[in-house]
Structure 1
Amino acid sequence: MSKLLCHFILFGSLISFTAIAQTEKQDTAISRHGQLQEVVVTATKFPKPVNQTGNSVIVITHEQLLHSQGETLSQILDEQTGINVNGANSNPGKDKAIYIRGAGSDYAVILLDGMPLYDPSGMGGAFDLRLIPIDDIERIEIVKGGLSTLYGTDAIAGVINIITRRAAQKPVEGNADVSYGSYQTFQAHTGLSGKLHAFTYDIQYDHLQSGGISEATDSTGKAGFDKDGINSNAVLARLGWQINPDFQLQPFFRYDYFFGNTDAGSFTDSKDHYQAHDLNAGFQTSYLLHEGAIHAHYLYEQTHRTYHSQSYGDSRYEGLQHDAELYWNQNLGKHIQALAGLDYRYMKMPDTTAKKKNPSVYLISPYAALFWVNEKGLNVELGGRFTHHQQYGNNFSFTFNPSFIFHSGMVLSADVSSAFKAPTLTMLYGPYSPNPDLKPEIAYQYEGGITVPYGNDGSDMRFTVFKRKIQNIIVYTPAAYINQDEQRDWGIEYENTVKAGKHLSFTGSFVFLNGQLTTQENGKDTTYENLLRKPKASFKLLAQWQITPQWFVSSSLENIGDRTDLDFNTYPFAPVSLKAYTLWNAFVSYTFHKRYMLYLQLRNITNTSFTEVYGYNTMGFHMVAGIRARF
């Protein structure tokens, strides 16, 4: 621990942290101290300055996404403080698992424009990050912590809200992006949007293909494992109708297709493959009130997944969900804001082999929250959600989230909340080891943070400590899924931001995690450290320099500490150690005529050999070059 502490002190003295650089006018607000503040919607479901919430919030702006061309969504998320995406740097077709503050991927909610993406056919229900191209994204808001009061099931570790582009405000505007890089990787994007009187339209298409690398590691180096490539396509269409100045309606349609060659397992080559389809359609609408608004959405989502194994044949999975939500936010006087809503979700898994044929389940959840906003600096959120689940019954979630803004701009914040994860259809009804008597997993989180600004240019530092306990963890056994384990995690996050003038910034973060799992064995408790594939310590550094209005460069370092994995080729599964590694990446772009951008993305410049998942390959040095145009 002393060595780790020395690294932390050295890091804090040498490195600076830059948050997202510039934001558009509609995404900022003036605080009571005259400082420009980012406005976010995910933390409270309606626009609010980021310093008025006690939650830990990360905003990835459109500008940062432009400076991340050539990266995948998984790689962009992996660069954020407190987040690791396992598989982000493995073969492009390898599955991606997102860990927020060390929690598993099943404990993170992925939203698309505020609507939950979910795979009812999956064992844990987590959405596949490979299905979302970055070229359709305007910005990303990440809120860490227990968010079940606002977002229901699965929001134990945090929520990632992917906000897509808005339509252009002129009759016709086009955009395109073409790139080519290592591993025969080709990507193309094109889109058209505009506004005609009271109507808007937006149509986007994305294509990605790559020759890839061998997914599994050839331990002998002589077996000649084949490369496992991918091919994916995505279409997004959205319309808008401004019925009157206060009322708008936006229907949408989105379809994603992904095909990837895979291997049979760790260290095992095969000509297996995987394909997935995801379709979602529905509408969003809002009606403006005096000092408030009414919002509603409906989402229909259907997923199909097929695994083809040379040894076992095809395994098909299908799921669908209907999600409908109606909520209202209102200013009740000078200091009080209110939020109230009703959320309904229906999930079905067409599967005649399940214990209950073609199982389905619904959840219905009313929720409410009050927000106290005081010009003297005190902000408080207090809320709760009651959930009725068709199978297991009822549960309640709450949040208490105070913060205080000092005249200096320093912010003290805290969060005490509970969250839950409902058992999935697979766990309840099979086809393997179902248990319809499962109860939800319940989590409690405690968090405290301090943000200290310095200078007048947006430099600041943030220190956060958190503790999380998850009870009734659902565990697979050959006989049936059962509620058994308890997971306890705690950690610290340090971020520091320094801006050296208007055009140069440095960013950095340090995260330390610890986790313990308690399980019942023969009537006795056993407790052991449990951070499978998750580093105890990680450092992330970034420098950005807008050299001229045309030239932009950035460079980043990411150090991931030692981790533990399991060897699934043994039984019982033997623990194995994965060594720490450091990746160096860089990006350069040149913008001309204000509409065109040439870019070059360089990743793993030192060609570091490392492992994210035991028995699987990762990418060495690789690059992507492309051009982006707006016309």
Structure 2
Amino acid sequence: MSLIKNKNLIYFLLFLSSTLGAQEKEKDSVTTEKLKEVVVVGETNVMSVSKKLFTVGTISRKDIDNVAGSNLADILFNNLNITVNPDASTGRSTVSLFGLDGQYVKILVDGIPIISDNGLGNNIDISQINIDDVERVEIVEGSMGVLYGDNAVAGVINIITKRGLKDEGWQLQLSLQEETVGNEFEFFDEGKHIQNFRAINQVNEKLSYSFGLARNDFAGYYNGYKGQNYVNIQDNIVVNDSLRGTEWNPKEQITASANIDLNLGKHNIFYKLQYFNEDLDIYNKIVNGRYENGRLNPTALDQNYATNRWVNNINVAGPLNGATKYNFSFSYQNQKRHYKELIYNILEQTTQSVETDALSQSSDVWYSKAFVNSIISKSKFIDLQLGYEFTNQSGFDANATGAYSNEVVKNTITNYELFGITELQPTKKLSINPGARFTHSSQFNNHLIWSLSSNYDFSEKLKLKAVVGSAYRAPNFEELFFYFVDANHNVQGNPDLEPEDGISVFVNLKDNFKIAKEGYLNTSFNFFHIYLKDAIASITAEDDNGTTLFTQDNIDYSNRLGFTLDNSFIYKNWNIGLGGTYLGVKNEIQENETGNDDYLWSLNLQTSLAYKIKKWNSTVSAQLKYTGETQGIFNNNDGEQFIGITESFTWLNASIRTQINSKLVATLGARNIFDVVNINTAASSGAHTSSTSTSQLIGNGRSYFLKLSYNLNFKH
């Protein structure tokens, strides 16, 4: 790949460098506040993750605005240990943490897990999560099963919603964003077109409410393909050159939401209502050349997926007695995905007929969580937190490999869980927190999840934190109940799957230093080890009729071992971050096969820079991330699994954000400056499919964006 492919990139980099250079002579400094932590002792607020028990990283609203992120995928791309995995065909983007995929990472909104296609909280399509009303994003690395249940093995991502205004009155927010996709852009037809509107009313000190609407139109990434209305006709004959359609499929997303925040004395009630709609088109690259009434009538069999999701979340929190406090959350979420198979008339540019129109996926989730903390608040040596969690999920998924099965099987999973954490503080510097969660599932045997965390404060600044506990993951809805059987397919889940289990260890040592009068250095060192046994993977078997069956089984184990060093430096107008992770991965597909016993080690680096230009009221920022070779379990074209090594790549984003006046802000920038489009995966030594090699689309070219944000504030 070439770093510089067009003059636009040169002009953009020269603009940034000249801007920085011009400000070297500027002697005036801005007051830089030291980064503040939102410390939640004993998790007194269900919205946040407890920083007393875990090491929590925070992406602030300012960070989100600097990169002009429109969805969660845009802002997680630059995180050191997170990899965003986009799928060009389905339009989905999931995350992996320490090389463990989205099944091992739990994603929450205000402490409540998000519904997905096949589960709750895991394997979430993060490109569907609009962040217009987000205050911050918390990222916790390490197994958190005691507090957040199964499948929080690699970590938790918690999205915190904005709540109210400082003063009484209204705030109206409007933003427009236009973005190229590679070098492709036309209003309405190519590129990305994003609009957001939000209104917030702080009625009084006790009541506020807000509502908003967001639209994200992604016209697809052509990358040499010719689009929906392309057909190659030569000598009155259709020639199938496979150039119809797009490399990345187009989709349009609509998000509507409303929040109410009410304080009744010392008690707080927060309600969030959200509706999400996504419309995804898949254009068939094969064109049918038919003659009708004596003339050529080329058509294509296209597909459309329409996803509709409703979310109702309510949280009530307040004191019970003295320092003892309660948190109660309740949620009902529903998601349905409709599938259409249609014949598209290319010359007339209309839908000729609809062959299939069906509901291919449906999920209904009832969820509740509550806990009481500081139960023994009068004691200086011991405290206790107790809680419960309830989940009931029912539904089906009848869609696979782009086709539809008319036979659906609806199933239900119900979980009842009790958990508790004890805080022991033998000295002022040392605290020990043993915890346990008892899980009863309608699908699995009873299970005990445990953890032991400890904090030791050498000084006010130098602190040591260690967490060891269960790495427990239950099979998701798809792995258990997927059903797609017809004349050509036999793909079924396995209701006899057992949960994965293992152990994780995380150790964190952090310190901060004051440098000169206006400088601060925060440094953090982490060691981690995650061991998983009985990992779930796809296998090929036979059903009762002797037909080849593609299903799931417990046959794998996986190890993650690594070290992370993360630093942030703040000095006058500068805010610089630099971090690195040395990660070792070892996978085994089958216990009776001997693979490579050595870890595959990879080096991941991330650096960020933000420079405040006081004279222009602007901030210039850039983020550079290097992802080294990674090992994982992949599927080849035949659906067989193999252990493969994915090549390294480097990602660079840059932007400048300018406050034009008190109401208008402009953000100009570029993403994927190194123009990464795809990376290769090849079978590693010891895998049973040694000749396997695949290519994965990971980017849609170097893109440029301009975002205009308008805020209007007025009192009642």
Amino acid paired to 1:116: P
Structure 1 Cα separation of the partners of residues 643 and 72 of structure 2: 30
User: 1:209 matched to which residue of 2?
Assistant: 217
Amino acid paired to 1:226: G
State the 1:224 CA deviation.
Answer: 3.1
Residue 483 of structure 1, aligned match among 520, 541, 554: 554
Residue 285 of structure 1, aligned match among 294, 302, 316: 316
- % of aligned pairs identical? 19
State the 1:409 CA deviation.
Answer: 1.4
Amino acid paired to 1:280: V
Task: Mark the CA change 1:44 to 1:568 in structure 2 (over 3 Å): closer, same or farther.
Answer: same
User: 2:470 matched to which residue of 1?
Assistant: 418
State the 1:362 CA deviation.
Answer: 0.6
- Larger Rg belongs to: 2
- Matched residues, number: 587
Structure 1 Cα separation of the partners of residues 676 and 409 of structure 2: 49
Question: The residue matched to 1:167 in structure 2 has which SS?
Answer: coil
Structure 2 Cα separation of the partners of residues 599 and 400 of structure 1: 45
User: 1:29 matched to which residue of 2?
Assistant: none
Question: The residue matched to 2:679 in structure 1 has which SS?
Answer: coil
State the 1:618 CA deviation.
Answer: 2.3
Contact 2:500–2:532 (Cα < 8 Å) also in 1: yes
Structure 2 Cα separation of the partners of residues 230 and 42 of structure 1: 42
Q: How does 1:140-159 map to 2 (within 5 A)?
A: 140-159=137-156
Contact 1:123–1:427 (Cα < 8 Å) also in 2: no
Question: The residue matched to 1:455 in structure 2 has which SS?
Answer: strand
User: 2:276 matched to which residue of 1?
Assistant: 256
Q: How does 1:193-232 map to 2 (within 5 A)?
A: 193-197=200-204, 198-214=206-222, 223-227=242-246, 228-232=249-253
State the 1:588 CA deviation.
Answer: 0.4
Structure 1 Cα separation of the partners of residues 222 and 121 of structure 2: 27
Which one is further off, 563-572 or 580-589? 563-572
Residue 234 of structure 1, aligned match among 252, 255, 258: 255
Task: Mark the CA change 1:22 to 1:583 in structure 2 (over 3 Å): closer, same or farther.
Answer: farther
Structure 1 Cα separation of the partners of residues 335 and 598 of structure 2: 32
User: 1:545 matched to which residue of 2?
Assistant: 611
Structure 2 Cα separation of the partners of residues 43 and 108 of structure 1: 22
TM-score normalized by the length of structure 2: 0.74
User: 1:116 matched to which residue of 2?
Assistant: 113
Amino acid paired to 2:606: K
TM-score normalized by the length of structure 1: 0.84
Structure 1 Cα separation of the partners of residues 639 and 89 of structure 2: 29
For residues 414-448 of structure 1, give each alpha carbon's deviation from its aligned partner in whole angstroms, at most 9, with x where no partner exists: 11111322222333334243433322111310122
Structure 2 Cα separation of the partners of residues 123 and 199 of structure 1: 31
Q: How does 1:513-592 map to 2 (within 5 A)?
A: 513-520=583-590, 524-528=592-596, 536-548=602-614, 550-563=617-630, 566=634, 568-570=636-638, 572=640, 578-592=646-660
Contact 1:514–1:529 (Cα < 8 Å) also in 2: no
Structure 2 Cα separation of the partners of residues 609 and 130 of structure 1: 18
State the 1:51 CA deviation.
Answer: 10
User: 2:55 matched to which residue of 1?
Assistant: 56
Amino acid paired to 1:538: N
Task: Mark the CA change 1:335 to 1:283 in structure 2 (over 3 Å): closer, same or farther.
Answer: same
Structure 2 Cα separation of the partners of residues 92 and 591 of structure 1: 38
For residues 136-156 of structure 1, give each alpha carbon's deviation from its aligned partner in whole angstroms, at most 9, with x where no partner exists: 211011111110100112111
State the 1:55 CA deviation.
Answer: 2.7
Task: Mark the CA change 1:562 to 1:483 in structure 2 (over 3 Å): closer, same or farther.
Answer: closer
Task: Mark the CA change 1:308 to 1:485 in structure 2 (over 3 Å): closer, same or farther.
Answer: farther
Structure 1 Cα separation of the partners of residues 267 and 120 of structure 2: 40
User: 1:619 matched to which residue of 2?
Assistant: 700
Structure 2 Cα separation of the partners of residues 617 and 307 of structure 1: 26
Is 1:459 aligned to 2:532, yes or no? no
Q: How does 1:305-316 map to 2 (within 5 A)?
A: 305-306=337-338, 316=360
Structure 2 Cα separation of the partners of residues 305 and 120 of structure 1: 8
User: 1:32 matched to which residue of 2?
Assistant: none
User: 1:11 matched to which residue of 2?
Assistant: none
State the 1:56 CA deviation.
Answer: 3.0
For residues 72-120 of structure 1, give each alpha carbon's deviation from its aligned partner in whole angstroms, at most 9, with x where no partner exists: 3113112112111122xx7597321211111111111110011111336
Task: Mark the CA change 1:309 to 1:559 in structure 2 (over 3 Å): closer, same or farther.
Answer: farther
Residue 297 of structure 1, aligned match among 314, 325, 329: 329
Residue 134 of structure 2, aligned match among 137, 147, 150: 137
Task: Mark the CA change 1:315 to 1:172 in structure 2 (over 3 Å): closer, same or farther.
Answer: closer
Amino acid paired to 2:525: F
Structure 2 Cα separation of the partners of residues 263 and 373 of structure 1: 62
Q: How does 1:506-517 map to 2 (within 5 A)?
A: 506-517=576-587
For residues 375-416 of structure 1, give each alpha carbon's deviation from its aligned partner in whole angstroms, at most 9, with x where no partner exists: 832233221110101121210111111121222611122111
Structure 2 Cα separation of the partners of residues 49 and 240 of structure 1: 16
Residue 602 of structure 1, aligned match among 657, 664, 670: 670
Q: Which runs of 5+ in 2 are unaligned?
A: 1-29, 182-190, 227-240, 286-299, 344-354, 399-404, 484-490, 542-550, 681-693
Question: The residue matched to 1:401 in structure 2 has which SS?
Answer: strand
User: 1:275 matched to which residue of 2?
Assistant: 306
Structure 2 Cα separation of the partners of residues 497 and 124 of structure 1: 30
User: 1:3 matched to which residue of 2?
Assistant: none
User: 1:342 matched to which residue of 2?
Assistant: 388
State the 1:254 CA deviation.
Answer: 0.6
Structure 2 Cα separation of the partners of residues 72 and 528 of structure 1: 39
Amino acid paired to 2:150: T
Task: Mark the CA change 1:282 to 1:249 in structure 2 (over 3 Å): closer, same or farther.
Answer: same
Task: Mark the CA change 1:463 to 1:585 in structure 2 (over 3 Å): closer, same or farther.
Answer: same
Structure 2 Cα separation of the partners of residues 418 and 546 of structure 1: 44
Q: How does 1:12-161 map to 2 (within 5 A)?
A: 38-41=37-40, 44=43, 46=45, 53=52, 55-70=54-69, 72-87=71-86, 94-119=91-116, 121=118, 125-161=122-158
Question: The residue matched to 1:454 in structure 2 has which SS?
Answer: strand
Contact 2:71–2:126 (Cα < 8 Å) also in 1: no
Structure 2 Cα separation of the partners of residues 589 and 321 of structure 1: 40
Question: The residue matched to 1:75 in structure 2 has which SS?
Answer: helix
Question: The residue matched to 1:397 in structure 2 has which SS?
Answer: strand
Is 1:445 aligned to 2:504, yes or no? yes
Contact 1:70–1:625 (Cα < 8 Å) also in 2: no
Contact 1:120–1:349 (Cα < 8 Å) also in 2: no
Residue 175 of structure 1, aligned match among 173, 176, 183: 173
Larger relative contact order, structure 1 or 2 (CA cutoff 8 Å, min sep 6): 1
Amino acid paired to 2:209: Y
Question: The residue matched to 2:146 in structure 1 has which SS?
Answer: helix
Amino acid paired to 2:558: Q
User: 1:28 matched to which residue of 2?
Assistant: none
